[in-house]
């Protein structure tokens, strides 16, 4: 069975991490998010995958190519302008002749795809939508089900007194190719606001597959943090890169960790990192390949991307640092701050309270303190 993954969005809510990188390529425990998805599909023997690309398409194509190094066959459906989740599926119509799956390319889940496909077939559905329960559905689009889990309707962000269901769209669908005729070609449309209500109105067999599987949308910075943490603490399952050096400490080859360094897992370190003397690293933390952590620095629950250079006696707590960023001596980056890629921050700065620094910026020594 073929699958299409929607990876063309701009990821505006995740900025500044997505200034130079499409959201599906942001690293989750040192591997692009999309690699985790591809692995999940492979576990269910889905290896013929179409990527619907638009924003920064080269970053995706250069990494994945034809998919052979990842054990899958990849094709690309390219949009010149964003066609939305519906238009993007329609744009891939030439590849979709049989029953197919559609995935939002920013949702991590261990959903049982094999079961979902069986459910779709057993119900003789034309469309099936995966659903996940949430505690508070008021900030989501809720899906109402009738008998035999047939989709009855959708309520966008219901007020507390209008809550009739706590099931929300989990961003995975199974479709029969004939539903494609209901999506207009060449224009922007959303599955959620176009095709889905249309299927209900036309009384086309459309079912909800309710699953308690792990589910997380990485669209917002807090959830980006959460997914990294959940994988590191084993709450969600994925293969961690590297070899275990001790309990909960995973290192890829070529890391140089000074014997005075204190490590408290879970920690994952990419290839060729250098950790200088008297550094303390507390997990859950991820450090990307080629990063250098200067003498006496403290890293505490941080996500550090590749080739980051941290000076001496610096601190990074509960924050993300993007690729190739340089942080000066004694600088603090704390409290859910996000420093994008290719940033240079001088020494003696205090970056706190969820500060965001855009890609390519330079901040002088002692310029920021709260
Ligand atoms: P925000 O700008 O933060 O809303 O993010 P987004 O638009 O990238 O993601 P959203 O959650 O709105 O979309 C869900 C999924 O659909 C993501 O994986 C997006 O990459 C993808 N997507 C959204 N719009 C388009 C589009 O116009 N074309 C394609 N191919 N994919 C899209």
Residue 84 alpha carbon to ligand 1 centre in Å: 7
Q: Is 52 in the pocket of ligand 1 (CB under 6 A)?
A: yes
What is the predicted pLDDT for the residue at 80? 93
Q: Is the CB of 106 under 6 A from ligand 1?
A: yes
Residue 7 Cα to ligand 1 middle (Å): 6
Question: What would the CATH number be for the domain defined by 2-232?
Answer: 3.90.550.10
Give the residues across from 132 on adjacent strands. Answer: 168
Q: How far apart are CA 216 and CA 213, in angstroms?
A: 10
Strands 167-175 and 127-133: antiparallel
Identify whether the C-beta of residue 149 lies closer than 8 Å to the C-beta of residue 77.
no
Q: In angstroms, what is the span from residue 219 Cα to ligand 1's centroid?
A: 9
**CB-CB contact of 221 with 339 (8 Å):** no
How far away, in angstroms, is 32 Cα from ligand 1 center? 16
Cβ 17 vs Cβ 24: under 8 Å: no
* pTM exceeds 0.85: yes
Q: Which of 3, 6, 169 to mutate to test the pocket of ligand 1 (most atoms within 8 A of CB)?
A: 6
Q: Are 151 and 208 in contact (CB under 8 A)?
A: yes
Classify the phi-psi angles of 190: left when phi > 0, otherwise alpha if psi is within -120 to 50, otherwise beta. Answer: beta
Cα 240 to chain centroid, rounded: 16
Q: Is any atom of ligand 1 closer than 6 Å to the C-beta of 88?
A: yes
Highest CATH level, class, for 243-363: mainly beta
Q: How far is ligand 1, taken at its centre, from the CA of residue 88, in Å?
A: 10
Classified as helix, coil or strand, 57 is helix
Nearest CA to ligand 1 atom 31: 8
Report the nearest atom of ligand 1 relative to the CA of 190. 24
82 C-alpha vs ligand 1 centroid, how far in Å?
A: 9
Instruction: Give the Cα separation of 179 and 189 in Å (integer).
Output: 14
Residue located nearest, by CA, to atom 18 of ligand 1: 105
**Alpha carbon 294 to its chain's center:** 29
pLDDT of residue 161: 86
Residue 96's pLDDT is 96
If DSSP codes are grouped into helix, strand and coil, which group holds residue 336? coil
pLDDT, residue 77, reads 97
Kindly give the distance from the C-alpha atom of residue 9 to the centroid of ligand 1, in angstroms, as a whole number: 3
Ligand 1: which residue has its CA nearest to atom 7? 9
Whether 23 lines ligand 1, by a CB cut-off of 6 Å, is yes
Is there an atom of ligand 1 within 6 Å of 83 CB?
Answer: yes
Q: What are phi and psi of 206, to 5 degrees?
A: -135, 120
Quickly count: other Cβ atoms within 10 Å of residue 44's Cβ. Answer: 17
Going from the Cα of 298 to the center of ligand 1, the distance in angstroms, rounded, reads: 36
Question: pLDDT 10s per residue in the chain (370 long)?
Answer: 999 999 999 999 999 999 999 999 999 999 999 999 999 999 999 999 999 999 999 999 999 999 999 999 999 999 999 999 999 999 999 999 999 999 999 999 999 999 999 999 999 999 999 999 999 988 888 999 999 999 999 987 888 888 888 999 999 999 999 999 999 998 999 999 999 999 999 999 999 999 999 999 999 999 999 999 999 998 887 877 777 777 799 999 999 999 999 999 899 999 999 999 999 999 999 999 999 999 999 999 999 999 999 999 999 999 999 999 999 999 999 999 999 999 999 999 999 989 999 999 999 999 988 6
Beta partners for 215? Answer: 109
CA distance 296 to 35: 34
Q: Does the Cβ of 279 fall within 6 Å of ligand 1?
A: no
Q: 10: Cβ below 6 Å to ligand 1?
A: yes
Residue 219 near ligand 1, beta carbon < 6 Å:
yes
Query: Which tokens hold the place of 101?
Result: 């799956």
pLDDT at res. 128: 98
Which of ligand 1's atoms lies nearest the C-alpha of 77? 30
Residue spans of the domains in the chain: they are 2-232, 243-363
Distances (CA, A) of 261 to 230, 233, 283, 293, 300: 25, 22, 14, 11, 13
Query: Residue 343 is encoded by which pair of tokens?
Result: 């940033």
The helix-helix angle for 57-64 and 33-43 (nearest 10°) equals 50
CA of 217 to the centre of ligand 1 (A): 11
The DSSP call for residue 194 is I
Is residue 60 within 8 Å of residue 13, measured between CB atoms?
A: no
DSSP assignment of 256-286 equals EE-TT-EEESSEEE-TT-EE-TT-EEESSEE
Q: How far apart are CA 209 and CA 224, in angstroms?
A: 25
């Amino acid at each position: 069975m073929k699958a299409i993954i929607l990876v063309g969005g701009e990821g505006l809510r995740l900025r500044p991490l997505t200034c130079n990188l499409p959201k599906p390529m942001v690293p989750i425990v040192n591997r692009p998010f999309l690699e985790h998805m591809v692995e999940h599909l492979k576990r269910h023997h889905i290896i013929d995958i179409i990527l619907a690309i638009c924003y920064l398409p080269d970053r995706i194509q250069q990494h994945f190519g034809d998919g052979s190094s990842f054990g899958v066959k990849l094709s690309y459906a390219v949009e010149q302008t964003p066609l939305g989740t519906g238009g993007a599926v329609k744009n891939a119509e030439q590849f979709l002749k049989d029953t197919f799956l559609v995935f939002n390319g920013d949702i991590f889940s261990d959903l049982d795809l094999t079961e979902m496909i069986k459910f779709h077939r057993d119900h003789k559905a034309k469309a099936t939508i995966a659903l996940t329960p949430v505690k508070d559905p008021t900030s989501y689009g809720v899906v109402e089900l009738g008998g035999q889990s047939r989709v009855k309707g959708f309520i966008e962000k219901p007020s507390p007194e209008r809550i009739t269901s706590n099931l929300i769209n989990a961003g995975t669908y199974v479709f029969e190719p004939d539903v494609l005729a209901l999506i207009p070609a060449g224009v922007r449309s959303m599955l959620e606001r176009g095709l889905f209500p249309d299927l209900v109105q036309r009384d086309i067999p459309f079912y909800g597959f309710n699953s308690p599987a792990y589910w997380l949308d990485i669209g917002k910075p807090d959830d980006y943090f959460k997914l990294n943490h959940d994988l590191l603490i084993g709450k969600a399952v994925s293969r961690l890169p590297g070899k275990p050096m001790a309990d909960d400490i995973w290192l890829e080859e070529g890391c140089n960790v000074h014997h005075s360094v204190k490590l408290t897992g879970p920690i994952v370190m990419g290839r060729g990192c250098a950790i200088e003397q008297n550094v303390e690293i507390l997990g859950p933390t991820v450090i990307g390949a080629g990063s250098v952590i200067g003498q006496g620095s403290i890293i505490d629950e941080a996500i550090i991307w590749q080739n980051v250079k941290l000076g001496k006696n610096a601190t990074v707590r509960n924050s993300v640092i993007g690729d190739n960023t340089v942080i000066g001596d004694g600088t603090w980056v704390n409290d859910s701050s996000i420093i994008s890629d290719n940033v240079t921050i001088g020494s003696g700065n205090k970056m706190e309270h969820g500060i965001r620094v855009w890609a390519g910026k330079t901040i002088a020594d002692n310029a920021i303190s709260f």
